[in-house]
Amino acid sequence: MRVKIKSAQMLACGAATLAAATLAFAQNPAGNIIDEVAWVVGDEPIYKSEIEEYYQQAQAEGQHFATSPYCVIPEQIALEKLYLNQAKTDTIEAPENAVQSAVNQRLNYILSSLGSKERAEQQFGKSWGQIREFLTDNFRTQYTIQQVQQSLTKDVKPTPADVRKYYANLSPDSIPFVPMQVEVQVITINPVIPQQEIDDVKARLRDYTERVNSGESEFSSLAFFYSEDPGSAKQGGELGFHNKADFVPEFSAVAFNLSDPKKVSRIVETEYGYHIIQLIEKRGEQINCRHILLRPKVRRADIDSAVFRLDSLRKEINAGVFQFDEAARYVSQDKDTKNNKGIMINSQTGSTRFEMQDLPTEIAQRVERMQPGDVSEAFVMMDQAKNKEVVAIVRLTNRIEGHKANLADDYNLLKGMYEEKAKERILKNWVEQKIKNIYVRIEDGWDACEFQYEGWKK
């Protein structure tokens, strides 16, 4: 338990007790030195081994420090302890589903990057179970701290007057430059795939199913050699633990109804292709499963036919027979934009505006040469999410040239800047007040630092 020490008498008592308990080293019953105490915050020590583990993890993830990690890391751990103590006081807990989802995504990324659990264990110096446990603790801490910070800053709700005043007080050098941005509409269609190609894919999947069910082949081996999902094939088709909402509905409906790990599912059609699935393990509301994905091949003639179809539609749009908005609703097969008049939304900002580097490469190449109102000729592009070719036309709706931010064009940007500064100020004041009211001891050799927050050295 962490204790806030307020009176001078309690401070003296706490200092004496903790100094006697730590002395600078923690010892085991035999009296051998096993760890060094670097800091004490409240009644909790920060050990050298804890700092070293934090540092090794940061190195494994490619993180760099502007100053000495032996100054930055202990202060970061101390800040975490302040927030976690507040979480206990306020009975704030991390959302466990979000924690497990984040852990699974990170583990899947590690597997995808390093290629195997064995290489991951070598890289991190931990067993696979220890890596999972470490990530779970790490993400649980992060989510808990976020919850506390959100609670502390929940009342920051800027009005237009606040934003105008903030903008008026910005020095000319502080006003950000907004690069050129564009607003774009898109219509995409999938080339028609011959039924014979679909039948051939299904036949291959049925063959794989029979080979697994008969014991002739392992599902994981077939996935490794034949699955067309590059993210999971290297792991024998294993997807890691996921919630039902993490998959498209058609996949979830089958995967979450599996109960026998020895059986293979029926063939499942999704927007990504055709799958067969094998259950590995159920854990609460999550499952871990394998899958094999096959995609029917698209013929060049079918792509050319789709290009011809969209070029014909473009001519009708330019002739005024159809509006682009109307054509998107009835023709486009892009589920993210067809019911939104074809308007593309920037997933990073939630805005309709894109900087050129944020657009898919093929769209950016067309838009760069267009004027507002122009509709491109049909072109083939790669749908990165589904890893397949589609045919598209785009309309440049608006081009906003690069400029210094102003209230008329960039209100949401300036509002976000105001919110960020206001929240930073609240959190900084909160931390500094906490530091004043809690016992802190920094051992010799760990205090020759310029810390982010004042008051640690007492």
Note the pLDDT of residue 142.
Answer: 94
Chain-wide mean pLDDT for the chain? 88
Three-state secondary structure string covering 214-237: CCCCCHHHHHHHHCCCHHHHCCCC
pLDDT: is 97 or 194 the higher one?
194
Decide: 181 and 400 in contact? Cβ < 8 Å. yes
Closest Cα to residue 47, out of 59, 58, 55, 38? 38
- What integer pLDDT is reported at residue 108 of this predicted model? 79
Six-digit token string for 452? 């982010």
299 pLDDT more than 80: yes
113 φ, ψ to 5°? -75, -45
Question: Environment class of residue 45 by beta-carbon count within 10 Å: exposed (0-12), middle (13-18) or buried (19+)?
Answer: buried
**Out of 35-39, 122-126, 169-173, 443-447, least confident range:** 122-126
User: Model confidence at 66, in pLDDT bands (50, 70, 90)?
Assistant: confident
Domain 195-294 has CATH 3.10.50.40: yes
* Section 36-45 average pLDDT: 93
116 pLDDT above the threshold of 90: no
In the numeric block, which tokens belong to residue 29? 């019953």
- What is the per-residue pLDDT for 124? 82
The residues with which 276 forms a beta bridge, in sequence order, are 292
Question: What's the pLDDT band for 196 if we cut at 50, 70, 90?
Answer: very high
Reported confidence tier of residue 110, pLDDT bands at 50, 70, 90: confident
10 pLDDT higher than 60: no
Average pLDDT over residues 226-236: 88
Q: How would residue 19 be classed by pLDDT, with cut points 50, 70 and 90?
A: very low
- As a whole number of angstroms, the distance between CA 213 and CA 262 comes to 7
Calpha distance 309→319 (Å, rounded): 16
**All structural domains of the chain with their residue ranges:** 8-155+423-442, 178-192+299-404, 195-294
What would the two tokens of residue 222 be? 């077939």
What is the pLDDT, as a whole number, of residue 106? 87
Mean of pLDDT values over 295-317: 94
**Is 1.10.4030.10 the CATH classification of the domain at 8-155+423-442?**
yes
Number of Cβ within 10 Å of residue 174's Cβ equals 10
Q: Which residues contact 323 (CB under 8 A, 6 or more apart)?
A: 317
Phi and psi torsions of 80, nearest 5°: -60, -40
* Distance between start and end Cα atoms, the chain: 22
The answer to whether residue 189 scores a pLDDT higher than 50 is yes
Give the 3-state secondary structure of residue 399.
Answer: strand
pLDDT higher than threshold 90 for residue 308: yes
Q: Which fold has domain 178-192+299-404?
A: Chitinase A; domain 3 (3.10.50)
Question: Both tokens of residue 356?
Answer: 């050129």
- Cα–Cα nearest to 396, from 179, 180, 182, 187: 182
Contact 381, 362 (CB under 8 A): yes
Check whether 311 has a pLDDT greater than 50. yes
d(CA 60, CA 57): 5
Q: Are strands 388-400 and 379-383 parallel, antiparallel or unpaired?
A: antiparallel
In the block, tokens 């202060």 appear at: 75
Q: Average pLDDT, stretch 94-119? A: 84
pLDDT in the model for residue 230: 83
Q: Could you check whether 8-155+423-442 and 195-294 share the same CATH topology?
A: no
What's the mean pLDDT in 321-336? Answer: 92
Of residues 25 and 114, more confidence is placed in: 114
The enclosing H or E element of 132 equals helix 128-152
Query: Greatest CA span in the chain, whole angstroms?
Result: 90
Beta carbons within 10 angstroms of residue 351's beta carbon: 13
Mean pLDDT over residues 45-66, rounded? 87
Mean pLDDT in residue range 421-435: 96
What is the structure's pLDDT at 13? Answer: 30
Both tokens assigned to 160 = 């237009």
Sequence-distant (≥ 6) Cβ neighbours of residue 94 within 8 angstroms: 139, 140, 141, 142, 143, 144, 147
CA of residue 71 relative to chain centroid, distance: 28
DSSP assignment string, 348-365: TTSSS-EEGGGS-HHHHH
pLDDT for residue 34? 59
Which amino acid, one-letter code, is at 334?
Answer: D
- Judged by average pLDDT, the poorest of 33-37, 119-123, 145-149 is 33-37
Q: Is the pTM of this model over 0.85?
A: no
pLDDT for position 60: 74
